[in-house]
Chain A
Amino acid sequence: MLVAAAVLVVSLVLFSIATATLWWMMSAWRTPEMLASTTFGQPDGRCGLSFSLLLPARHEQGVLEHTVHRLLESTHDDYEVIIITGHDDPETTQIADKLAELAPDKIRVVIDTNEIKSKAKALNAALPLCRGDIIGVFDAEDIVHPDLLVHVDYAFRSRQADVVQGGVQLINFHSSWYSLRNCLEYFFWFRSRLHLQAEKGFITLGGNTVFIKTDLIREIGGWDPNCLAEDCELGVRVSSGGGKVVVAYEPQIVTREETPDSVTSLFKQRTRWNQGFLQVYRKADWKQLPTNRQRGLARFTLATPFFQALSGLAVPAGILIGIFVNVPIWVAMISWLPAVPAFLVLAFEIAALHDFGREYQLRVKAIHYFKLIIGTPFYQVILMGAALRAVWREATGRNDWELTRHVGAHLVAPAPTSTSPMQTV
């Protein structure tokens, strides 16, 4: 009897979580109008704002040069690039200096002298030197589309935004079984979920292709150097303060990135994010949000990785209980219930993989669908492990920065060139 009651409660809770996740995951595709509303507006052709683009680079000598060259191809005419390197990283600094000589009017190099490094500290080091109206953040391995700045410029002006989050997409889905799932996670996050978050007034920003008014970021005191997910934290602080965040995603001008180069580094990256989410939760800036709904949403969003881990564990457990434990048949039927939204998620992921291939002109073969399906439980295990490890690290007070290494696998894919309507205007 006790077992039956426990199964019932757990199943219903899991079912609700899985259904809510499903709802959020698919929000952009609810109606054709909704999907159309997630893109950038068609720019008016003016460059009304100036940009300072921050590019923290740490042991990234392999990809930095390519990234900067891409940034210099931008069709916008008023921007500067600030490369931030560490004082203990002469190789990267050397390359940065060489690049600065190439275009001294556009590129500057800032050395971060903090003993213990983090991305937030690096960004804060460059903040006083920024001359643009808008600060944009990129990572050293990003492939940025030349038309992006023009679109962002227009979005700031036409929508009175305080923050604009552009789309980021992992591209190298063919590299391994986990990168396939990793790419899809980004697809759902930037294509769909963030838009709804922005609409509801609580958003965790992404780590790059994020643009913020220089005055605003100075006013709120820059990035939080103690938080492992400085991007998420910034978003929470901005939306809690009532700042207007605009999210826009367009496959043509999305920033392309690559997945972590091994399961271990994926695991470490995910641990860092999860721990960052925990830190943001504990910091409790979100409690200043005006409505109960928004605060509820904040709780739900920040707890998402842990729900995910829980459901990864409990769905198979529920199925096993249904089969092997002697409970009344209707309880057994209910223990299957969370599997329904879980399998719906999988079905939508398959559809999204097809869509992803279409939008990025990548060939998705049968083997990839197969990997997607087979990889599901294993990926769940990684997520679950990372969630548990994050809780463990936070509880024991370990919060050093574990860097994700990049090899440049996404550079192999054909990078998009400028197809801007700007040039025909």
Chain B
Amino acid sequence: MSTVLERPAERSKRAKARETQFLGRSMDFWICAGLVAVVLLVQAWNIADYPTVSDDEGTYLAQAWAVQHGLGMAPYTYWFDHPPLGWMQIATLSWIPALFFHGHQLVVAYARIIMLPVSAVSTVLVYTLARRMTLPRWAAALAVGFFALSPLSVTLQREIFLDNFAVMWMLVAFTFMYSPRRHLWHHVAAGICAAFAVLSKETMLIAVPALVVALWQNAGRSTRKYSLVGFTAALGLVLIQYPLYAVLKGELFEGNGHVSLIGGIVYQMSRPGSGSIFAAQSSSYAVFHAWMYYDSVLIVGGVVATVIALAFRHLRPVAIAAALLTLVAMRPSGYLPAMYVIQVLPFFALVLAGLAERLVAFLLRYRAHPVFWEQVVRMVLVGLVAAAAAFYVVPKWVSGDRVADTADPNAGYQQAATWVAAHIKDPAGKRILVDDGLWLDMVKDGFHPGRGAIWFFKADLDPSVKNALAKHGGWRAIDYIVSTPMIRQNTFDLPTVQAALDHSRVLVSFGTGANQIQIREINR
């Protein structure tokens, strides 16, 4: 009617929000604050000691270190293994650990503290998204519980994985898509955030079609066309910055003697398949069962709930995201990374909570009569179902979370790092082969990054490192090697590393059996 803005719909929404206020804030604010506090407590407790430091964590943190020190995208040649936005974000957060730790703590393990703000933001987003999907407060809180308190989540979300950043951006994108004002710029912002998610971890691209469904459901009929175009164009224009970066470096196409974006993509696409999750003996099977070990409820329940949730309009977008990610994980060939499941967790959590709400609504309201005793019976029924579910799930989670908050598989790493710092003199002139988990500790001790402290596989796979070593006698140029399970499992195509192991003696060892960590000196 007018150019003066009249939006009665919005005004009534604001009025409604005002009704349920406490200390000047909405009820949602207080619930969210409580949930964040619980999530942070459970995830932060024992964060450095559990789970075992993973090589990927070390890699990403070292790459963040390189970005921060202006050395490019990685301490060695950046070969377009992943888009760099993930560890650029890690770099911007890397000031946090220094606030808390000053001694000889294991760098990678204690750097995990930077994942806590990410977890907190994602928690708030899951709650907000659930509310915007019209779920009641209890169901939104339940979704947060599934998302952040399952032993699987507690284990994986505290690790420095790119997937956690991708999930956060994807949740921002979804939350924008459900903009109550159906605002064009929110939909454009969703496109930008989705691009950030994909540039944080490229596999998030799989979930993008679900955003389009969310947009279709949520945009106004008269403005939908523009929202769709704005979302798509923003997504594309931000994504294209990555190939653009490759163009500017002259590394888009494969060529002699240099890495390339196309080469990186070809490598990732043709990565030796890890088999089917249904075939015992395959490594996908092992990965899948590791997830099941941490929390079978969320995995099995999530898959089943996803299929059912497709039938409900308000759950469909997140169910589609969960379904797409699940289908890709179940494809018979192709590589299944251990942290892949992180991306599907928020969607499993939302469909589970959404279906729980549907079930409760069904029990309470299906052909209900306003008769007192009938209402009581229905309430009791809901109570029984909730109690049964809690009886089944809570003990498993409590014991899983207790392990996460008490076990210390990183003790060996910590001891090795401390020993090296105390006993190896003149680190600036020495060469030491380590895995990614210890690399930053070596750099901190004074080994020269890249030439002195060497990622073990770079000694054979990075031509510049390999040639530099060869000039000084190959394995003979190396002074020490810290033998960890990660190195011992990966030496079959790394002759220099194998030779270093073969021609060395143990100085000191920590732990026992397969998990033993040995610091070895090379015998020339």
- Is A412 part of the contact surface with B, judged by Cβ < 8 Å? no
Residues of A near B228 (CB, < 8 A) are 351
Tell which of A50-58, A281-289, A340-348 binds the partner: A340-348
**A329's contact among B6, B183, B222, B249, by CB below 8 Å, is which?**
B249
User: Which 7 pairs across A and B sit closest by C-beta, in order of nearness?
Assistant: A32-B220, A347-B233, A351-B229, A195-B3, A29-B226, A199-B3, A198-B3
Q: Is the CB of B185 within 8 A of A30?
A: yes
- Is B230 part of the contact surface with A, judged by Cβ < 8 Å? yes
Q: Is the CB of B226 within 8 A of A329?
A: no
**B183's contact among A23, A31, A332, by CB below 8 Å, is which?**
A31
Residues of B near A247 (CB, < 8 A) are 3
Q: Would A322 and B248 be within 8 Å (CB), given that A36-B222, A344-B237, A354-B225 are in contact?
A: yes
CB proximity to B under 8 Å, residues A176-203: 195-196, 198-199
Interface of A is mostly: helix
Q: Is the CB of A30 within 8 A of B233?
A: no
List 13 interface pairs A-B (beta carbons < 8 Å), by A numbering: A26-B230, A32-B222, A33-B9, A41-B2, A198-B3, A329-B248, A329-B249, A333-B248, A336-B241, A336-B244, A344-B233, A348-B229, A354-B225
- Is A355 part of the contact surface with B, judged by Cβ < 8 Å? yes
Q: Is the CB of B184 within 8 A of A26?
A: yes
Would you give the shortest CB distance from A30 to chain B, in whole angstroms? 5
- Is B23 part of the contact surface with A, judged by Cβ < 8 Å? no
Residues of A near B226 (CB, < 8 A) are 26, 29, 348, 351-352
Q: Would A246 and B2 be within 8 Å (CB), given that A31-B183, A31-B184, A336-B244 are in contact?
A: yes
CB-CB nearest in chain A for B10 = A33
CB proximity to B under 8 Å, residues A4-35: 23, 26, 29-35
The CA-CA distance from A199 to B2 in the complex, in Å, is 9
CB-CB nearest in chain A for B191 = A344
Residues of A near B184 (CB, < 8 A) are 26, 29-31
- Is A159 part of the contact surface with B, judged by Cβ < 8 Å? yes
- Is A37 part of the contact surface with B, judged by Cβ < 8 Å? yes
Chain B interface size, under 10 / 10 to 19 / 20 to 34 / 35 or more? 35 or more
The CA-CA distance from A350 to B225 in the complex, in Å, is 10
Q: Is the CB of A35 within 8 A of B248?
A: no
The CA-CA distance from A340 to B247 in the complex, in Å, is 17
- Is B99 part of the contact surface with A, judged by Cβ < 8 Å? no
Interface string of B192-232 (1 = CB under 8 A from A): 00000000000000000000000000001111011011101
- Is B181 part of the contact surface with A, judged by Cβ < 8 Å? yes
Residues of A near B3 (CB, < 8 A) are 37-38, 195-196, 198-199, 246-247
Residues of B near A198 (CB, < 8 A) are 3
The CA-CA distance from A351 to B230 in the complex, in Å, is 9
Residues of B near A75 (CB, < 8 A) are none
Q: Is the CB of A29 within 8 A of B223?
A: yes
Residues of B near A347 (CB, < 8 A) are 229-230, 232-233
- Is A418 part of the contact surface with B, judged by Cβ < 8 Å? no
Q: Is the CB of A159 within 8 A of B2?
A: yes
Interface string of A122-134 (1 = CB under 8 A from B): 0000000000000
**A351's contact among B221, B225, B237, by CB below 8 Å, is which?**
B225
Q: Is the CB of A199 within 8 A of B5?
A: yes
Would you give the shortest CB distance from B74 to chain A, in whole angstroms? 14
The CA-CA distance from A245 to B114 in the complex, in Å, is 54
Q: Is the CB of A333 within 8 A of B241?
A: yes
Residues of B near A269 (CB, < 8 A) are none
- Is A39 part of the contact surface with B, judged by Cβ < 8 Å? yes
Q: Is the CB of B225 within 8 A of A355?
A: yes
Q: Is the CB of B6 within 8 A of A344?
A: no
- Is B1 part of the contact surface with A, judged by Cβ < 8 Å? yes
Interface string of B380-415 (1 = CB under 8 A from A): 000000000000000000000000000000000000
